[in-house]
Structure 1
């Protein structure tokens, strides 16, 4: 068994697609119209057949209180592995990404947390 798909709720799918591809560097995998929304997924360019991230519309009434509570408490909605948190922090910060936690070493793990502009906090992590 392996993880095939996971999702983050986004307040604007088009804005999310631009951020996740143009800024973070993911690649669009699926873009299927479903009425007002889309089945919109991205993947890592390093693993195009790997786990897909669904940029899921946040229209359900339970989503806004849930995501707002996570952001208010500083809890990331997702965690992405990177080779070097400090280098990725510098790259993203240079592109105007707002971080809520700068790189922080905790034992064998270094993390940083940023705002994805679509209603979520996202963690980047490197494990030594």
Structure 2
């Protein structure tokens, strides 16, 4: 039996603003863009990992008003979990994302627990860490 990550959700307050970060700055490709009433969600992925996707959606999409309100409050506080991505060239990835105007939280450094990584904030405030495993 095999278990693998297929997709994960990232809650955003503005799908279009999030697309400029995840698609344009990170280089992910749009796989699906679905309207559902007044809301929409967008799935993105990497050509290198065709079976893994990120789903961007607003707090109230597919949720009750109360649940959407609660999730929006957490989003506004910056209290939602971070996202950790992996790259094979951290320095080039960092420079491309920084050039997009994204908020830099941490420039590339070697972490004592192993990976070399950097961190940004997406337009909705979610921390996005990007790691490159060290060799050796």
**Range into which the TM-score falls when normalised by the shorter chain:** 0.7 to 0.9
TM-score by length of 1: 0.85
- 2:129 is matched with 123
Instruction: Please show how residues 19-98 of structure 1 align to structure 2 within 5 Å.
Output: 19-47=21-49, 49-59=50-60, 60-67=68-75, 68-70=77-79, 77-98=82-103
The residue aligned with 2:9 is 7
How big is the shift at 1:125?
Answer: 0.7
The structure with higher relative contact order (CA 8 Å, sep 6+) is: 1
1:103 aligned to which of 105, 108, 111: 108
Q: Which residue of 1 aligns with 2:120?
A: 114
| Distance in structure 2 (CA, Å) of the matches to 1:69 and 1:95 | 21
Q: Structure 1: which 5+ runs fail to align?
A: none
Question: 1:127, 1:87 → 2: CA distance?
Answer: 15
Specify every segment of 5 or more residues in structure 2 that has no aligned partner in the other structure, as ranges.
Answer: 61-67
Q: How many residues align?
A: 123
Contact 2:15 2:41 in 1 (8 A): no
Q: Which has the larger radius of gyration?
A: 2
Residues 62-111 of structure 1: CA deviation (Å, up to 9, x unaligned): 2233232437xxxx621110112222212221222221111121132111
Q: What TM-score do the two structures reach when normalised by structure 2?
A: 0.80
